Amino acid sequence: MSSPNFSAWFRCFAGCGATYPLTEILVRCRGCGGLLDVVHDEAAWQERSADAWRALLSARASSAAFLDQSGVWAQREWVLPALTDADIVSLGEGRVPLVPMPTLGRELGCEHLWIKQCGHNPTGSFKDVGMTALVSMVQALRRNHRIAAIACASTGDTSAALSAYAARAGIPAIVFLPADKVSDEQLAQPLSSFATTCALDTDFDGCMRLVAEFCGRHGVYLANSMNPLRIEGQKTLSVEICQQLGWQVPDWIIVPSGNLGHVTAIGKGFKLLRTVGLIDRLPRLCAAQAQASAPLYAAFKNEWRFHPTLAGPTQASAIRIGHPVNVDKAIATLKDFAGVVEQASEDEITQAWLQGDRHGLYADPHTGVALAALRHLREQDTVRSHERVVVISTAHGLKFSGQKLRHHRPERLESPLRTQENVDPERLEQRGVLPHNSPQIVAPRIDALEDVLLPRLQRASS
């Protein structure tokens, strides 16, 4: 059911003042070429009290209706209120766990640490909560427009989300991937959803330029995060976090950051909560980048003057982006949230996801970037020990199982983390992080098992 008392429209983010209905197919302002934002009638939101919003969200959290079980569509008045139930394309996204990690927090110097496990989404990343909004809008648009297909450029996770949600809707999908720069697990996802998958001999930025040109020429709908519809779905993450914390605001949110749509969306979600009276203050934000691909970090250190860079190789492949399309939105958001940008080396990223794994996280490299950034912020005392910190884990480690296996079995296959990124296992051991956990090859006898296992049990109990 649509929400007739609420409305939303496109507005030029660059400031020229142009507005457009959401029923128009465009991702940039026709007047000045700037990016667009989705703007809501906030006065209509405010006609309902904070207590009433809180009660509505609580009721939907226990509802048996499938759309209410989606973390995105349970907030439908704040997302795309004109859509009907028949328009919505959902795979049960959102409502992912916010996991308290007190022991890991103590190791990092934080008394209060939570991990928001976005890898628990249907295709294994946070991209699902944005893609459900975009594909649902396309489903509605197809009633009055001819849309041949939906396409995206991707470093892995966007292609997985688009291909799955397009398959759910019965809409053809096309994905452009940088050849040999995504994991096998990530490549398998669009192939399995029968998306047309194009591997291009370029980086993500090159794929982005080509997909935008292709879509403009051939009536294909562009699904990258320059399209603000995805941000409407992604902003619901902020509402989930506050609801899971009993409507308390954390002090910090740390976000792995590449194309910069996610940190923008999280900021937008917290502003929404303040507008409707559910919170009275904003958290601080940290955009965490891999050192090899850190153009926003460079801008932060240069009074926010941004210059695109050539993204270097990093194990955090999803954020290997040198020219992020949402940079202006992200900088504006970070300024509003007293935000900072931090970076992490490949060595630090590896240490961080290994440390997370030892606490059961099975962390992807991008979560490693965020955890390493948190370590830096604590060392600088930018984050205080008593402050409440939420780290966004953007994807599931299962997307990087091959990388983890290569790391832990260097005797079988040389680990790329050692040969390409100069990780020194002995130095990691000295820092208290176990760099490798190879399987033990043991003869099938009890004495052989005792020889291997009893010394380990003794060390564990000492």
- pLDDT tens profile 295-340: 999 999 999 999 999 999 999 999 999 999 999 999 999 999 999 9
The angle at the Cα of 100, spanning 95 to 102, to the nearest 5 degrees, equals 170
- pLDDT tens profile 231-254: 999 999 999 999 999 999 999 999
**CA-to-CA dists, residue 281 to 79, 168, 242, 264, 266, angstroms:** 22, 38, 12, 17, 14
Query: What was the pLDDT predicted at 417?
Result: 40
Query: What was the pLDDT predicted at 140?
Result: 97
**Mean pLDDT value of segment 136-152:** 96
DSSP state of 183: -
pTM for the model stands at: 0.92
Q: Tell me which amino acid residue 354 is.
A: L
Do 186 and 348 meet the contact criterion of CB atoms below 8 Å apart?
no
- pLDDT tens profile 95-111: 999 999 999 999 999 99
List the CATH code of the domain at 98-124+231-430. Answer: 3.40.50.1100
Q: Tell me which amino acid residue 148 is.
A: A
Question: What is the CB neighbour count within 10 angstroms for residue 2?
Answer: 16
Query: What was the pLDDT predicted at 427?
Result: 53
Query: What was the pLDDT predicted at 156?
Result: 87
Q: Which of 270, 275, 272 is nearest to 392 (CA)?
A: 270
For tokens 């603000």, the residue is 228
What backbone torsions phi and psi does residue 94 show, to the nearest 5 degrees? Answer: 80, -170
Do 416 and 400 meet the contact criterion of CB atoms below 8 Å apart?
no
- pLDDT tens profile 145-191: 999 999 999 988 999 999 999 999 999 999 999 998 888 999 999 99
CA 459 – CA 454 distance, rounded (Å): 9
The domain ranges of the chain are 98-124+231-430
pLDDT value at 415 more than 80: no
Identify the H or E element spanning 392: strand 388-393
Rg (CA), the chain: 22
